[in-house]
Chain A
Amino acid sequence: MDIKKLFQVLVMGGAILGAVSSCGGDKSTSTGPQANPGGSTGAADGGPDGGGGGPRGW
């Protein structure tokens, strides 16, 4: 298996698991945060104040 094949194995394999009927990718490309219907208090919920981060990997 080479890296190019990982798109099919991981992305498309995952998309099928997510039970998506169409993986067209053109449905939700809007930018900017959504409204906050849950009334989250943001940083008080535990996340960083800034732009976020990512877990360390191999």
Chain B
Amino acid sequence: MGQTPLPDPLREIVADAWAFRWQVELEAEIRFARLAERLSQAGALPPIVDMSRRAASDEHRHALICAELAREYGHPGIDQRAVTAPEIAPGRLPERQRVLYEAVAACCITETESTSVLTTLVNSAKAEPMRSKLRELLRDEVTHSRIGWAYLAQEQAQSAVGFLSPLVPSMLEGTVTPGLFAKALPDLESPQLLDHGVLPHSAKRSIFVETLLEVVFPGLEKLGVDPRPGREWLAQKTAAS
């Protein structure tokens, strides 16, 4: 594949990472397809609804890319039938607020974080075809992130969006990779992983934190959502690590 050969333990880490992303992309396909319909019913601007519909098919294509890479690195595959994407917004919220919650959690947070990860990976991966595949994924994730920021901006212009503020820690807790703030085994810190589209553990953590501080929290504040509960969540996580 043009990259430096990997020892087996690192190859397994890479295979698992791409298999995990395969599942994540399938979940996102389901979520965006559902979100598009709910955005339409909630009165989202047509371009936002169209972008969400396209995002569902983008995510399907992404899943195929991730699946191909997972198999190339030796992963036996995942059970696609078991992939689900249950609603994440608190059931006590009215529908319009639940739609906004889902858009913010999925797009403003998760897709923004994915964009940061992919930006770093594209800048780091030197070999083809990995670099081209990462570039394709990155291009779409930019649009997916904007769906959330666009809808939050639309809603902020029409109604109060401050109810989201105390809910941001729950969004972050759901999106963060388990163990991200814990010390990792040495193999997970290998810089060799970068050429294969995987971030070393500590780099992943610092990119997650930097993206919250430089993009997500300022973006939420700009669009009417007090970021202080999210900042407090992050302070607790980083203090404990």
B195 within 8 A of A: no
A10 to B162, CA, bound (A): 20
Residues of B with C-beta under 8 A to A4 = 214
A18 to B165, CA, bound (A): 20
Are A3 and B90 in contact (CB-based, < 8 A)? no
Residues of B with C-beta under 8 A to A18 = 45, 48, 149-154, 157
Shortest Cβ distance from B211 into chain A, in angstroms?
6
Shortest Cβ distance from B93 into chain A, in angstroms?
6
B58 within 8 A of A: no
Are B224 and A25 in contact (CB-based, < 8 A)? yes
Are B165 and A31 in contact (CB-based, < 8 A)? yes
- B interface residue count range (under 10 / 10 to 19 / 20 to 34 / 35 or more): 35 or more
Residues of B with C-beta under 8 A to A46 = 86-87, 91
Are B116 and A3 in contact (CB-based, < 8 A)? yes
The residue from B31, B89, B156 contacting A27, defined by CB atoms under 8 A apart = B156
Are A56 and B27 in contact (CB-based, < 8 A)? yes
Residues of B with C-beta under 8 A to A10 = 112, 115, 142, 145-146, 149, 215, 219
Shortest Cβ distance from B133 into chain A, in angstroms?
13
Residues of A with C-beta under 8 A to B111 = 57
Binds A, one of B74-82, B94-102, B124-132: B94-102
Residues of A with C-beta under 8 A to B161 = 28
Which residues of A from 19 to 46 have beta carbons under 8 Å from B?
A: 19-21, 23, 25-34, 36-38, 40, 42-46
A58 to B109, CA, bound (A): 11
Residues of B with C-beta under 8 A to A6 = 112, 115-116, 119, 211, 214-215
Shortest Cβ distance from B28 into chain A, in angstroms?
7
The residue from B98, B106, B109, B152 contacting A47, defined by CB atoms under 8 A apart = B98
Residues of A with C-beta under 8 A to B94 = 34, 36-38, 40
Residue of A nearest to B45 (CB): A19
Are B149 and A14 in contact (CB-based, < 8 A)? yes
Given contacts A3-B211, A34-B160, A55-B175, 11 further A-B contacts (CB under 8 A): A3-B207, A9-B142, A10-B112, A10-B145, A15-B149, A29-B162, A34-B159, A40-B94, A42-B90, A56-B177, A58-B118
> What is B's interface to A at a CB cutoff of 8 Å?
21, 24, 27-28, 31, 45, 47-48, 51, 85-98, 101, 105-106, 109-120, 142, 145-154, 156-157, 159-163, 165-167, 169-175, 177, 207, 210-211, 214-215, 218-219, 221-226
* 16 A-B pairs with C-beta separation under 8 A: A3-B215, A6-B112, A6-B115, A10-B149, A14-B147, A14-B149, A14-B152, A28-B156, A29-B162, A38-B94, A43-B92, A55-B24, A55-B175, A56-B110, A57-B113, A58-B113
